Amino acid sequence: MGKVKDFLARGKLYHGGLCLQLMATILYLTGFSTNYWAVGTVQANSTEILTVNSGLFQYCVVMKVDLSNSPDLQAMGAKATGCHWHDKTPCSDQYKKMLFLPILVLVTLTLAFLCPIWANCITTRPTEMELKANIFCFMPAGGIGFFVILLFWIGTKNLEPTDDVCDSIYRNLDLDIGWSYNLIFFGIIIIFPSFYMILEAILPETETETETETETETETETEAAVVTNADYTNPPNQPFTLSSSPSNA
């Protein structure tokens, strides 16, 4: 069957891309890929942000703040140096919402991994039903997850922080650039192979495949003809003799 030819090779490439995305998600959750160094002086409130460390359950901003001209920070109980802005600043709720972003990615990837296992599409010769199950299972997991993350990214992008310090932190996190690359990478891995498999399933067989099938049928007919002609040959280990007919005197 032409549609399942080289399916295993495509499956290895597909699952390899999913593994890369899963590794990127794990790096994000552990905070390794989101350690942003923003050394410098921010204009707002004379705040010098030293590091911004991001993880799954906390966002720690280490900064050095001049509290002499910042009564609002003094009112919030901010210290001169240290890890601030867990639940004390007005923008903490904004970053709590951002925690759903990697969680959505992780859930979507989990669905994407479970679907081919359920559909048994990592076997060498999947059936037509398994191909259809794989297509209709990856499309919801990939397509819906991709657009949900895209909408959530747009929603967090449009949130306006309530003070200048939060604005500085939000700007230094640089979510626009980071998640743009992530969404593009995620879309290429999930969306493109799904459409490719749909096209592979609905497109007719190519001429090369038709010629190969014709050659196979010709070889089969030739072998059958040889077997038929073999019935008229002499049995093995028996000499060939001529019988003489009586002559007319």
Specify the range with the lowest mean pLDDT, choosing from 97-111, 149-163, 187-201.
149-163
Contacts 24+ apart (CB under 8 A), 51-54: 52/169, 52/172, 52/173, 54/173
Edge-first strand order for the sheet with 35-42 is 35-42, 47-54, 59-65, 81-84
**What pLDDT band is residue 81 in, cutting at 50, 70 and 90?**
very low
Q: What's the pTM?
A: 0.23
| CA pair distance 40, 118, nearest whole angstrom | 51
Pairing of strands 59-65, 81-84: antiparallel
- Span 189-203, pLDDT tens digits: 555 555 555 555 555
